[in-house]
Amino acid sequence: MKHPEKASISHHDAVVRELREDPELAYEYLKATLQNEDENEDEAALRLGLLRLAQAYGVQDLAEKAGMRRENLYRALRPKANPTVKTLTAILRALGLRLSVERIPERAARSAEACLP
């Protein structure tokens, strides 16, 4: 018996396809992953965002451009991973992106003022 073709694709696969087709969307998608107020969710969202971009542009190709093995790229982006800044920087540069710093919203800034001179 022949199985009918799948009528739809998973949300993950749909996102990966959209990111592959639109580089500006990929940039905005990754940027949006960092807009969360919860630091723990930020880290997980960043890893998931980078993983989706890796899948969109080819994990092997991205790993090579980042100067790492494919397995290490997957390992760095797994849910409980804690990649180094060096690793994140290499992955971002391979995607044509870089880390940057910006002020946090007013509410969070007040708590940081106590730490600044």
pLDDT tens digits for range 96-107? 999 888 777 776
Residue pair 10/19 in contact by the 8 Å Cβ criterion: no
What is the structure's pLDDT at 109? 56
Residue 83 domain-assigned (yes or no): yes
Residue 37 domain-assigned (yes or no): yes
Residue 116 domain-assigned (yes or no): no
Handedness of CA 103, 104, 110, 113 (dihedral sign): negative
What is the structure's pLDDT at 117? 62
Residue 104 domain-assigned (yes or no): no
Tell me what the mean pLDDT of segment 31-36 comes to: 80
Which residue intervals of 1-117 are DSSP H helices?
Answer: 11-21, 23-33, 39-57, 59-66, 70-77, 85-94, 106-113
Please state the pTM of the whole predicted model: 0.74
Residue 69 domain-assigned (yes or no): yes
Residue 19 domain-assigned (yes or no): yes
Residue 21 domain-assigned (yes or no): yes
Residue 17 domain-assigned (yes or no): yes
Quick check: 37 pLDDT over 70? no
Residues of the chain with pLDDT > 70, as a percent, come to 79
Quick check: 43 pLDDT over 70? yes
Residues spanned by the domain of 93: 11-99
Q: How many domains does the chain have?
A: 1
